[in-house]
Amino acid sequence: MARVRSVGASWGSDHTELLPPGHRVGDWVVAEPIGAGGWATVYAGRPVREGAEPGEVALKVMPTAGLAPRQARNVAESARREVELGRRAGHPRLVRLLDSAVLRAPEHPSLDGAIVLVMERAAGSLRDLIGAGVDETEGGRLITGICEGLAHLHRSGWVHSDLKPENVLIGGDGSVKLSDFGLATELTGTHGYAPPMGTPDYLPPERWRAPLGEQGVRVRPSADIWALGLVIHEVFASGTPLFPGATPMARGNSVQEYAAGRAPLRMDDAVPPFWRALAADCLAPAHEARAGHTAESLLARIAAREEGRAAGQGTVRRRRWARAAAALAVAACGAAGAAWWYAGPPGGSGAGPARVRVFNAERACQDRADRDPQCSLGLALDPLLPYAAGNVAPDRVWHGDPLEADCLLANGEAVIDEADLRSTLWFRVRPSGADPGVRVWLPAVRTKDRPELPRCPAPANGR
């Protein structure tokens, strides 16, 4: 488990349940409260350093004083899971954990021993967005971001266990980030075990009748996929629940009726056909039928659909371009041939090598000069393989770092950055200070530079 610091604070005699603005918690200063749940209150906060902007972070304060021993253990275990997952499974689609502390305030027993988690702050949640309704393009972007976060969680050996619109946060730049990992479950093989907790409206059918053993109830990634199906429906149905009922228990009974085959799956007519089919697969009644629809496979289906739509649009564009080109050819018979888009002619020499500067779409990392590991970016060994932990070079780079690029590969593995820009283009680069023969790969979404370069030959062993 990541280290949890113990910090002190002094409180005014009029302090009640809420932390007053201006109080210091370790290296952070409390601002106004911005939310509350069953176990925690969340405050806006800022670093103590001079000149820091207010509201830069979110402080999740989880009191333990006054709770029954079992409740206190549950709160501590919830915090431990958030810290552990934040330490081991960081990703642009997961809210970043920046710090953690145990509050020492013996003169105020209700706060003494409270656990404080310091996280990046979002502008709002998915729940805030979908109530007003979103179009298919925006809804698809949001769902894609959720799938990316789930895919990373599952690859890292975790199940979120409490996926719902309130736990999908939206950044000020529109980025999608999963949050609230207090119920996250670490997998041992195909499943893990967790306390019988969670939001009833998003529990899969098997959880309603799951046996409770000494380790808790069995949890598998397919539970997140079920919740994803419900979220997809809500995104396009303006937040309307899929299963009817006036209470969570009544809606749970509707889930059981559907799972037993006694009731059909009735989706809102506002859900577009592609997303309706995707949600229906996520909502397969049995775990065994749902297990084949992983977050990775759902992402692949979404990507294939987008590529198909882009190809169709490209055909129209190419026809228009051909007509325009014919007209230009008549008007400028002796003009030179068209230039290739910053990749040089196919197999041609192009200019190069050229210098490209690394770009990090995370705004919080763009003004930092301390080369914080959480702001570092990886270079791939092989651009044709998934951009994952086993395919990352030892060298890390940061926003603004210059790299020497000698060619460009046009059809590598697709990469999506924090701003939801997607590209299959990769630059072959040499890290600063590396031996002349070292070559690794930078995805084109990680730089704003567009030098003219020759096409790279097919890579062999990442070179």
Catalytic residues: 162
- DSSP-based three-state secondary structure for 411: coil
The C-alpha angle 403, 433, 373, rounded to 5 degrees, equals: 75
Q: How far apart are alpha carbons 384 and 392 in whole angstroms? A: 12
What separation in angstroms does the CA of 151 have from each of 36, 97, 142, 457?
28, 19, 14, 31
Residues 146 and 129 sit within 8 Å (Cβ to Cβ): no
Q: Supply the Cα-derived Rg of the chain in whole angstroms.
A: 25
Helix (H, G, I), strand (E, B) or coil at 277: helix
Q: Please give the Cα distance from 123 to 52 (Å, whole number).
A: 18
Q: How far apart are CA 244 and CA 333, in angstroms?
A: 68
Distance CA 117, CA 28 (A): 11
Can you tell me the distance from the alpha carbon of 402 to that of 410, in angstroms, rounded to the nearest whole number?
21
Q: In whole angstroms, what is the distance from residue 294 CA to residue 297 CA?
A: 5
The Cα 15–Cα 198 span in angstroms is: 32
Nearest Cα residue to 196 out of 220, 212, 214, 180: 212
145, 176 contact by CB (below 8 A)? yes
Q: What angle do CA 27, 29, 35 make, to 5 degrees?
A: 120
Contact 397, 377 (CB under 8 A): yes
Contacts of 339 (CB under 8 A, 6+ apart): 452
